[in-house]
Structure 1
Amino acid sequence: MANVKWSIDPTHSEVQFKVKHLMITTVTGYFKKFNLEVETETDDFSTASSIVFTADVDSIDTNNEQRDTHLKSADFFDSSTHGEVRFVGKRYEKTGQDSAKLHGDLTIRGTTKPVTVDVEFGGIVVDPYGQTKAGFTVSGKISRKDFGLTWNAVTEAGSVVVSDDIRLLAEIQLVKQA
């Protein structure tokens, strides 16, 4: 039996990150351009043989052009040299009826590290147009310093401007390919 191929439905998906600013508020950013391709043996995602996610660094949007430009600079993502964030899933491990851990390798700015994210499986439905869709909420946390994003500044009072912890959150809808 041929593998089942799934592709991202970008109009019903979003990828965001959250970081503490001055340790008192949270700034949210989005990747406006991203892709996800998954291959499974069946409609059970624990049979996935390939999970590849990419995000275009130049598509970062934090609702502040000056901050976005800084994030794309060599201080952070260095998009002119490292234009893509990439996650390659290695194992989709069911932890409950609708929950799983997704283990894989995350590459940011040329550095690859193992990462595990939590996955909440929303289910599989057929939409009004006859397309089979699968939904997921993905969440996790990484240390930006692990990936060479070490820029920081300190306030007069000694507070850190940008936290090391980056929270990841994605709403993903996949479309089964015919």
Structure 2
Amino acid sequence: HMMITTVRGKFAQVEGELELDENEPRKSGGEIRVAAASLSTGFDARDQHLRSADFFDVETHPWIAVRTTSVGPKDDGTYAVTADVTIRGVTKPVTFDVEFLGTTPGMRGGRHVGFTAKAKVNRKDWGLNWNMALEAGGWLVGDDIKLEIDVAADEVAVATAAQSQGAEAEGATAAA
């Protein structure tokens, strides 16, 4: 932001389903939906601008979607998780570095799981092109965005023929 600071934002409304297979992580995956209008950076005027057609265009595109396409273990014990990320109707693959934080007994029965995911993307890949030149040179908004997603999920039973298990996702943050 203005070439010298980092703006951090948080999406408050996140929902989704995850499938976690601790024995065969490659079989894990999920889909998360984020209400674009729930973005907050702590500065109302900036938040309003980010929700406008200049950026997320929440009137036309109210949801951001993240759908896992592959999960692979890395040598350091973390995972490379590739997902299709849809923003403003544009879908692009993003590979996240994911650290599985573990499981504990959940308050609803089942397990409570946690993990963090990080990736760096170029906002222009999704048509988030607005910018303003600064008098001193440079641009108001940088192109690279650091995504940091913190997930705490509770396992819930899903009524299917196979009695598979799902989870509800909570919380996502992004830093620019």
Same fold (TM over 0.5): yes
Match among 1, 21, 37 for residue 17 of structure 2: 37
Unaligned 5+ runs, structure 1:
1-20
State the AA in 2 paired with 1:122.
L
Match of 2:96 in 1: 117
The residue that corresponds to 2:70 in the other structure is: 91
Q: Which residue of 2 aligns with 1:75?
A: 54
Alpha-carbon distance in structure 1 between the residues aligned to 2:4 and 2:24: 41
The structural deviation recorded for 1:98 is: 3.5
> 2:106 touches 2:154 (CA, 8 Å); kept in 1?
no
Among the aligned pairs, what percent are the same residue?
38
SS at match of 1:145: helix
TM-score, normalising length: structure 1: 0.82
3-state SS, counterpart of residue 162 of structure 1: coil
- Residue identity opposite 1:23 in structure 2: M
Identify the residue that residue 112 of structure 2 maps to in structure 1.
133
Query: Which runs of 5 or more structure 2 residues have no equivalent in the other structure?
Result: 158-176
- Give the counterpart letter for 1:22 in structure 2: M
Alpha carbons 2:109, 2:155 under 8 Å: kept: no
Whole-Å Cα distance in 2 between the matches of residues 120 and 98 of structure 1? 8
Query: 2:159 matched to 1:152?
Result: no
CA distance in 2, matches of 1:128, 1:84: 29
When the two chains are superposed, the root-mean-square deviation of aligned CA atoms in Å is 1.7
Q: Distance in 2 between matches of 1:41 and 1:121?
A: 12
Aligned partner (choices 105, 111, 133) of residue 84 of structure 2: 105
TM-score by length of 2: 0.83
